[in-house]
Structure formats: structure tokens, C-alpha cells
Chains A and B, each alone.
Chain A
């Protein structure tokens, strides 16, 4: 379980998140939705240690990780997949998978790569190709596969379907559900396609101007009578 307690964060002096209290339950999908500029991506970056935390705490399984460097959060099983530049374009698919398991022993690395390829068998055809030559969707699969290789139990995905065709985006959503149901991963999902993100999620947070405007079950938000207004940050 991951918790943020009165989290105030941003970039250097720039304040973006205000007193965000959130609890991300294990083995489920939690969607983070909200209008553009509401601080969704910053929320993920703050959890992973890539944004400046001004005050408040980030706790993972009861341990305060607010000051733990990102590479050590990786070792704790937390993975963060940025929206863009989430694979190494100049490395081959195989090298991307290997670097993802940088902290693992050789035998364990092989097992993890096999597991990632079981989930994303399409990658087997491109092992020797440079990641920069893959299509957007294939790159996104590779990015998620790298998170599986590094034994992540807590996966943060920042707009994984951005710039993908609707067909491929649907494929990515299916894979996210598969990761929860088959591998029992905890997933924190930031997604512009709010409707689809809430449909596959268990819980949801709505951020508006860096503050939590809704916190509850995903279907409650989806069925909320003011759903569209809420998602656009309009309050009565």
C-alpha cells in the first residue's frame, strides 16, 4: 500500500500539489484523472522522487520514502513509466529489457525477461531491433515490459495511451487489466481517456488545480451526476 500524507510538491519553487492525501490500495488499479494542468503527472513524479516535495510524506508499505532516491525506490518495487522517452531509443529491445533488470542477478533477470515476454509476446519478434524504430504502441508495450522485468509490484503509468491509435490504445488497456488480474500488480494510472480509465479502475482520484476534488470508487465517479463538470474542473 502506498500513501501520501498532506503532500505539497512541485518543481523547485513552483508549487503544483496542495495537501494531497491519497491511499493507493494493493493489487488494484487506481486512476488519477483531472483537467490539463491539474498536477496528475506531478503527483506520480512526486511519489517516485522526481519532483520537489515541499512538505508532507510519501509512505510505501508503512515506510517513509520521501527522501529515498529514485533508483532505490526502483529496488523497493516501485516503477514509474513517463509519458514520453520511456524507453532507450538507441538500445535494442533486448538491451532495454536487460537494463530494466539492472539490479537483479543473472538467473533472476532471465526469468523476469521470460515473464515479461509471456505478457508481451509481440516483443519477441523485435529483440534485436533498436527501440527507436518501434511504433508508438510497441514502444509502450516495451516500456511496461521493462517495469515487469524490474520486479515492480507498484506500477505508475503516465498516460500510456497518449498518441496511440484507438485500436492500439484498447490493446494497452487490456494489458493493464491483465497485469492486475494475472500478476496481481498495484497500478496507479494517469490517463487522458477518463471514461476508459475509470471503467477498468477500482478506485479513482480526481485532481483539480493540484487538490483532491474526489476520492472514492472509480464507478462512483463514473456514475456521478456531475461527472463531466467535475472532470473539467468546473465546480458549482
Chain B
């Protein structure tokens, strides 16, 4: 089974973006126990920021990344402070928080739909459905989005590593993730770390959203579709681990892209619409074999693996 370079390239781009989205989802789940079903729409919010910058100011989507990062962060903080924190303060259960994010997703969907009409109206160009591939270029034989997505993920992962392991605030963030009550005892203002985690999550989602239109067509509803893959990635890796989101993002992203492509060569291009089924299958298999996710498995205790390693 050999894949064309273009297919592999597409799979890696998609996986890089999925990793950003699933890390964001995992961080807010660990710090505030909120399974954010609006994470996909956060990404589409980023896509529309990039489209707005392009249509109104002629700014290339690659240059819109820092702007999307800030606006996405602010969106994340606003969602936490005005929607989720009041519920958490009233000791809302996880189901209530989940329903709140589903409602938020619908609100964002309505907002993005209305905004796309408005943007289309003032620019006289379609905004309800758009793609950035015409604005991409090649560097040698490689598409710029491939290189940019790798640079972005490398910078973000390195920054995240430096933040979490080399700064005082990062250690406080990890401490708050593990045991917020003890972190509070140590003098850490845990609420700040929660707000920051929502800023980070929103930023990562909108950065991914800025680049997503280089790979697929975006409509306001895209977030509600991609959320399946984001959750699959986070759960496959282990919802309580940032490393898990990284591993899960690549497993789900690459499986989804390559398996769907392979099936399309046999069954025709109509099968591409059902690409999310692959993510769901990976998720179901993982939930049956290791419900705690890959990072929750005690690998050293698995006998056959132990015998191979020894």
C-alpha cells in the first residue's frame, strides 16, 4: 500500500492542526473539567478571522496567525468567565458543563452564519463557503502550508514545553492541573491558571482554524463536524494528558486521512464525506481496549510487551 506524496503531505498537515485542537481541548478539560464541544467552532472562528483579514485588509492568512491567536485567546477567556465559571461556581456537574458548551457551539454557529452573510455582503465575495488553496504557493516541490503547519506546530510545542517546564508559571500550571487544592495551599492563584488555560485553548484552536482552509473548504458548520476528530484524538491519547493529545492527534489525523483515501481508491470519491467514521472507529476500538487512553496504559505491566523489551 503506497501513498502519493501529496496524500501523505495532506495527512501530516491535517494531523498537525488536529494536534493543536486536541491539546487545547485537553488543557481546559484537565484544568476546569469542561469537555468543550465548541472547540471546533473556535477553530472556524479563527478561519473567519483569517478570511476577514484577507478580504478587508488584503492580509495573507499566514500573517493573520498572531491576530487569530490573540482573538482566539480572548474568546476562550470570555467563554470561561461569562459562561462556564458561573456554572462551575454553582458546582454544576460535568453533564451541565457539556450541555453549556453544546449550547455555546450553536450560538457560535449562528453568529458565524450571520457574520458570513455580513462579510459576503460588504465584500461582494462568497463568505459562506471558502477555501484558501488559491492563496497558497510552493517552496520547491513542497506546498507552503505543509512547511508552515510544521513550523507552527514546532514553535507551539517548543513554547508549550518551555512554558510548562522552564517557567515558574508553567510549573504552577502543572501543579494546578494535578491538584488545584494543594496548589492553592502553596500560594498559587489557581483561578489565574484556569483563565490562562482557556486563553491557551482558544488561541491554539484559532491558529489551527487560520490554517485549516488551506486543506479543506470551510463553512460555518465545519466546527460541528471536526469536533468528532478532536474528541477522538484527545480520548485516544488519554483525556488527562497533554502528551496524550499530541499522540492521539497524530494517530487519529493520519488514520482518518490515509484510511479514507485508501477507501476512496476502491469505493470512489463519495466515501470521502464519511471520513469522520474512521475517527469514530479508532475511538471505539480504543475505548474497548484501553478506555483510559494510550497514556493511561501501564505499558511496562503488559506481559507480551515486557517479554519483547527484555
Contact = CB atoms under 8 A, between A and B. Distances in A.
Interface of A: 48, 50, 69-71, 74-75, 79-80, 82, 85-91, 95, 98-100, 102-103, 146, 150
20 contacts: A70-B185, A71-B189, A71-B190, A74-B186, A74-B187, A82-B185, A85-B179, A85-B181, A87-B182, A88-B182, A89-B178, A95-B171, A95-B174, A99-B172, A99-B183, A99-B188, A102-B172, A102-B187, A103-B187, A150-B187
Contact of B178 (A75, A86, A91, A98): A91
Contacts of B178: 88-91
Interface residues of B, number: 17
B170 to A, nearest CB: 10
A127 to B, nearest CB: 14
A9 to B, nearest CB: 17
B246 interface: no
Interface in B145-198: 168, 171-172, 174-175, 178-179, 181-190
A150 B183 CA distance: 12
B184 A71 contact: yes
A82 B182 contact: yes
A150 B189 CA distance: 15
Contacts of A70: 184-185
A91 B186 CA distance: 14
Most buried by A among B181, B184, B186: B186
Contacts of B175: 88, 91, 95, 99
A48 B188 contact: no
A94 B237 CA distance: 28
A86 B181 CA distance: 10
B171 A85 contact: no
A140 B179 CA distance: 17
A71 B171 contact: no
B100 to A, nearest CB: 23
A87 B186 CA distance: 10
A98 to B, nearest CB: 6
A14 B277 CA distance: 49
B171 A98 contact: yes
Contacts of A91: 171, 174-175, 178
Contacts of B188: 71, 99, 102
Contacts of A103: 187
Given A89-B178, A90-B178, A91-B178, A80 B171 contact: no
Contacts of A82: 181-182, 185
